[in-house]
Chains A and B, each alone.
Chain A
């Protein structure tokens, strides 16, 4: 059975239903690919093989009973930031090493209800702070297109796993671009839904007013399937939006006539690579050819977005991370008194970038600076939101480059946080405004590295975004997995190998 990774969830579900394949076989297939490729890619922090096979067996039983579920039997990977009952959840931090949540995040409960199979925990920047996944306390994930380069971040593991065909799809979280930027740099689809569209209950908080959970996939169809499952109001998250969820598949297949696409003049910044700019211009032409109208728009406060973002996100992070004190769970480093215990625990438990952001956040909130930084940032945030409101009066979607550059070399920017921060310039304003946006594969640069294309919509307009993404995908047909990762075929022996359960049932054979 080769190239199962080229099939959409809908296609796989049909095969499972027709019993052309079992969920155990599908799961073994992905576990086989993880064995083969993840030593190199390092997307998974911890594959959960036993749990995966158990969930796959359960799914097969349900399928045998004729039960349905949009993800029934489908193996997925999860960013290690989503609390999952009885499965270690670390946020790629030493301070949470060994933390096993006694509860499920709302999205996990929804995935379970939909019948998913938990393949494993995916790497990330510690506490989602970073743009390269180099800030993980445990390992550095590689870009599948060039393993000397970073996969982007903070959801680098989620992007790399999907781009390498190590899981059908995955979930990540996006605070300033943490889904879209790695999706763009790894050449897959990554959606950040509207703030409040997906419950944050159980998402380990980085910056609560910006964080949002979203899917990674290798097709727009799968993105719609995943979003259908995870979106919706949740009484456990009072910032979630009490609006009904449309069927996102119903937007796929519609053309782009009558769709107005806004092109913000401010996004033609210095520092954008030539290949990236050229690709962006080609892609705008694709939309035009498909009947969309291109409109020039202005987002005048874009230049302030990065500064504003780093004030708000560090401020929120400094209080969100105050709970990691060694008292209740995770790491504890003893001290002669409680204050020393706190200091020792936090000093040992947090990495450099996390400490940097806690210090920045504490500083911008400290008395005397609060008005100059935090309060002012709040005002600029309102202006940025108003920029988008005004722009959307004359367009339906906004299309921008995803990142000024393609994937950079590992280690290249880790000592230069400012340059690293600036690589999120196109994604950050979207979080500040709480809008939905997707990154889709736009093509490749001269080095063969993926270039992302960024489509932004009005609040709750995930449907129209997917509609445009789907048109683009069907026309441009950009490859979403490196050719070299498709050559190895999972041996049949792995797929058909007797499971532990079978051995137990037939001890004599």
Chain B
């Protein structure tokens, strides 16, 4: 029998607010342990939460970016369980009345075309403390770092619309792009600011039934989510084929062994409305203000880029996926450069450089204005591609003007024919056999000799001119 997978994802995203969700401590979990704590987030006896407006606003913006409908009234509940990472024995989470419902994201389907994946709801909750287990020494001890306790999260709960590891990964990527656009969250799975749990069940293909699901946790990259889901589908298929029943439980993905293993059940207590956090009542005015703060989102921006700048759909998509890049592109293009040339330079040169350096554009010294001046020099033939690349590298690191860098690094393109003549003379003199080959009709030799000549010019020769002169001399 052929099976198909039914997958739903629960994604926790940390909001990048200045302070925690219910107190005024800095939202910096990475600081020296227990530095960012106060009586409220340690939940000392007598303490009460006060909801951060910034967290509420950022959560609402994130909801809007994922096309969710903000609910007129939402409220926090207490999820009771006992564990040392929870300083008050319950977690404040919007269980019964979430902030928003009924959203969606679009992905490119595996077989092409668009597929819309629905979001059931998004709710706010507080993160828990971090446990550090020290196993060295005679008695192993566990330490609690409360820096993360009370930092704001949203949990995005999808409908079970996902059918494959590919769709799951595309869903996460699309969602991440949307959220990063809002500036409300970093969404890094590697750094734990985005955590994905997958609920997976399988059913005979074509049937509409929902079978017992298994929850899989502990994937720390999008790739791992795909792999864990694929593993789990295979495991469940094998179970069913052997006639074994699927049990409702939670499994952990082991990134080294690349398998999932069953996890011990955690005691989950009741979930009751919290009387101390005031209910969130959304007014139309407030919602309007939040909507105004929502930036132009990627899909809309891609359409506009295609129309306004004449980019192909693929180019427009590439230029709009990341908000920093999209703004950088537009600013550069506005300096009067051919937009497709800008796109090309961003995709083939700038983006790989940033990736190598693990930097966002804003973290480098490069500005759109200086980037535009560099491309203008390239356009005018003052420098060649090689030189432009060298200067670009420097522009990422210093605030010097591209013109100064060209002069200082002597990247100015050599278009002086007499200078090129000298180089060509030397090459021809050193490689008589290759010259002979060419004359016998082997045109590939031009490429080889061009390479040598460019090298001899330290990459500065105007390649077009150089080729013309070389071919003329060989003939």
Spell out A's residues near B (CB within 8 Å): 82-83, 89, 91, 96, 99, 101-103, 105, 200-205, 207-209, 235-239, 315-316, 318-319, 321-323, 325, 327-329, 338-339, 342, 362, 365-367, 370, 374
| B residues 240-293 in Cβ contact with A at 8 Å | 269-270, 272, 274-278
Give the distance in Å from the alpha carbon of A209 to the alpha carbon of B75 in the complex: 14
Quick check: B276 and A91 within 8 Å, CB to CB? no
Determine if B78 is an interface residue (Cβ-Cβ < 8 Å): yes
Across-interface contacts of B275 in A (CB, < 8 A): 207-209, 239, 316
- Asked if B48 and A83 make an inter-chain contact with CB atoms under 8 angstroms apart, the answer reads no
The answer to whether A203 and B46 touch across the interface, beta carbons within 8 angstroms, is yes
Judging by beta carbons under 8 Å apart, are A235 and B89 in contact?
A: no
A236 touches B48 (CB 8 A): yes
Query: Which residue on chain B has the smallest CB distance to residue A99?
Result: B45
Selected A-B contacts with CB under 8 Å, 15 pairs: A101-B46, A201-B48, A205-B45, A209-B275, A236-B48, A238-B48, A315-B272, A319-B80, A322-B80, A323-B88, A325-B82, A327-B144, A362-B269, A365-B270, A366-B270
Residues from chain A with Cβ under 8 Å of B48 in the complex:
200-201, 208, 236-239
Contact of A103 among B44, B51, B278 (CB under 8 A): B44
Chain A residues positioned under 8 Å from B43 (CB to CB): 323
Decide if B49 touches A329 in the complex (CB within 8 Å). Answer: no
Contacting pair A238 B82 (CB below 8 A) = no
CB <8 Å contact, B46 and A322: no
Known interface pairs A208-B275, A235-B50, A238-B276. Does A323 touch B87 (Cβ–Cβ under 8 Å)?
yes
Report the separation of the CA atoms of residues A132 and B44 in the bound assembly, to the nearest whole angstrom: 27
The answer to whether the Cβ of B310 comes within 8 Å of any Cβ in the partner chain is: no
Find out whether the CB atom of B84 lies under 8 angstroms from the CB atom of A102. no
B278's contact among A91, A201, A205, A238, by CB below 8 Å, is which? A238
Verify A322–B82 contact, CB threshold 8 A.
yes
Closest Cβ–Cβ distance, residue A468 to chain B (whole Å)? 30
State whether A201 touches B46 (Cβ < 8 A).
yes
Q: Is B104 close to A, CB under 8 A?
A: no
B: residues with CB less than 8 A from A are 39-40, 42-51, 78, 80, 82-84, 87-90, 144, 269-270, 272, 274-278
Cα(A322)–Cα(B144), bound, Å: 17
Are B272 and A83 interface neighbours, CB within 8 A? no
Assess the B46–A239 pair: CB atoms within 8 A. no
Q: Is the CB of B50 within 8 A of A329?
A: no
Contact A323 B270 (CB under 8 A): no
Nearest neighbor of B79 in chain A, beta-carbon distance: A319
Contact of B44 among A101, A321, A342 (CB under 8 A): A101
Contacts of A89 in B (CB 8 A): 45
Q: Smallest distance from the beta carbon of A364 to chain B beta carbons, Å?
A: 9
Q: Which 9 A-B pairs have the closest CB atoms?
A: A322-B89, A365-B270, A209-B275, A208-B275, A323-B88, A83-B46, A238-B278, A202-B46, A204-B45
Label chain A's interface by main secondary structure: loop
Contact A362 B45 (CB under 8 A): no
With A319-B272, A323-B89, A367-B270: A239-B45 Cβ-Cβ less than 8 Å: no
- Minimum C-beta distance from B245 to chain A (A): 23
Tell me how far the C-beta of B282 lies from the nearest C-beta in chain A, rounded to whole angstroms. Answer: 16
> Which B residues lie within 8 Å of A329 (CB)?
44
Q: How far is the CA of A349 from the CA of B352 in the complex (A)?
A: 61
A-side contacts of B83, CB under 8 Å: 338
A239 and B44: CB pair below 8 A?
A: no
Q: How far is the CA of A384 from the CA of B42 in the complex (A)?
A: 36
Cα A370 to Cα B96 with chains together (Å): 13
Is B42 a contact partner of A370 (Cβ separation < 8 A)?
no
Name the residue of chain A whose CB is nearest to the CB of B272.
A365
A374 in contact with B272 (CB, 8 Å): yes
Interface of B is mostly: loop
Bound Cα distance A322, B277 (Å):
18
Q: Are A327 and B272 in contact (CB under 8 A)?
A: no
**Is the pair A103, B39 in contact by a Cβ cutoff of 8 Å?**
yes
Q: How far is the CA of A342 from the CA of B82 in the complex (A)?
A: 8
A contact residues around B88 at 8 Å (CB): 322-323
List chain A residues, Cβ under 8 A from B42. 328
Chain A contacts of B87 at CB under 8 A?
323, 327-328
Contact A101 B45 (CB under 8 A): yes
Residue of B nearest to A326 (CB): B84
A208-B275, A236-B50 given; A323·B78 CB < 8 A: no
Which of B46, B82, B83 lies at the interface centre, i.e. has the most chain A CB atoms within 10 A of its CB?
B46
Q: Which residues of A contact B80 (CB under 8 A)?
A: 318-319, 322, 365
B24 to chain A, nearest CB (A): 10
Give the chain B neighbours of A339 by CB distance below 8 A: 82
A473 to chain B, nearest CB (A): 33
B45 adjacent to A96 (CB under 8 Å): yes
- Asked if A238 and B49 make an inter-chain contact with CB atoms under 8 angstroms apart, the answer reads yes
Q: Which residues of B contact A323 (CB under 8 A)?
A: 43, 45, 87-89
Contacts beyond the supplied A83-B45, A238-B48, A238-B278: 14 A-B pairs with Cβ under 8 Å: A103-B39, A201-B48, A203-B46, A204-B46, A236-B48, A238-B276, A239-B276, A315-B272, A319-B270, A322-B88, A322-B269, A323-B87, A338-B83, A339-B82
Q: Which residue of A lies closest to B43 (CB)?
A: A323
A91 proximity list for chain B (CB < 8 A): 45
In the bound complex, do residue B270 and residue A238 qualify as a contact, i.e. CB atoms below 8 Å apart?
A: no
- When distances are taken between beta carbons in the complex, the residues of chain B under 8 Å from A367 are 270
Q: Are B270 and A102 in contact (CB under 8 A)?
A: no
* Nearest CB of chain A from residue B371's CB, rounded to whole Å: 46
Given the contacts A238-B276, A319-B89, A323-B88, A370 and B49 also touching, CB distance less than 8 Å:
no
* Cα(A323)–Cα(B47), bound, Å: 11
B contact residues around A370 at 8 Å (CB): 270
Q: By the criterion CB–CB under 8 Å, are A205 and B46 in contact?
A: yes
Are A239 and B278 in contact, CB atoms less than 8 angstroms apart?
yes
| Inter-chain contacts of B44 with A (CB < 8 A) | 83, 101-103, 329
Find out whether the CB atom of B278 lies under 8 angstroms from the CB atom of A325: no
Please, how many angstroms separate the alpha-carbon atoms of A83 and B46 in the complex? 7
**Bound form: Cα–Cα A176–B213 in Å:** 45
Q: Across the interface, do A338 and B45 meet the contact criterion of CB distance under 8 Å?
A: no
Q: A83-B45, A101-B44, A342-B82 are in contact. Are A238 and B51 (CB under 8 A)?
A: yes
Residue of B nearest to A330 (CB): B45
Q: B141 to chain A: closest CB distance in Å? A: 12
Which of B80, B144, B275, B278: most chain A Cβ within 10 A? B275
A308 CB to nearest B CB, Å:
15
Please report the C-alpha to C-alpha distance between residue A82 and residue B44 in the assembled complex, in whole angstroms: 12
Q: Which of B45, B50, B80 has the most CB of A within 10 A?
A: B45
Contact check: which of A103, A204, A208, A338 meets B276 at CB < 8 Å? A208
**Given A101-B46, A238-B50, A325-B82; A319-B90 close (CB under 8 Å):** yes
**CA A105 to CA B40, docked complex, whole Å:** 12
A362 vs chain B, min Cβ distance (A): 7
Cα A91 to Cα B46 in complex, Å, equals 11
Question: For A103, A205, A322, A325, which residue has the most chain B Cβ atoms within 10 angstroms?
Answer: A322
Complex CA–CA separation, A89 to B144 (angstroms): 24
* Minimum CB distance partner of B144 in chain A: A327
Nearest CB in chain A: distance from B406 CB, A: 58
Complexed CA–CA distance, A204 and B49 (Å): 13
Task: Tell me the smallest distance from the CB of B277 to a CB of chain A, in Å.
Answer: 6
Question: How far, in whole Å, are A235 and B48 apart by their CA atoms in the complex?
Answer: 10
CB-CB under 8 A from A366, the residues of chain B are: 270
Distance of A205 Cα from B47 Cα, bound (Å): 8
Nearest-CB distance from B415 to chain A (Å)? 70
Cβ–Cβ < 8 Å partners of A82 in chain B:
46
Q: In the complex, which residues of chain B have a beta carbon less than 8 angstroms from the beta carbon of A103?
A: 39, 44
The smallest C-beta distance from A188 to any residue of chain B, in angstroms, reads 25
C-alpha gap A365/B144 in the complex (Å):
29
CA distance A200 to B45 in the complex (A): 11
Give min CB distance, A328 to chain B, whole Å.
7
CA A362 – CA B82 in complex, angstroms? Answer: 13
| Chain B min CB distance to A446 (Å) | 42
CB < 8 Å neighbour of A319 from B46, B49, B78, B278: B78
Which residue of chain A lies nearest to B38 when distances are taken between CB atoms in the complex?
A103
CB B112 to nearest CB in A, in angstroms, measures 46
- Cβ of A318: which chain B residues have Cβ within 8 Å of it? 80, 270
Chain B nearest CB from A366 CB (Å) reads: 6
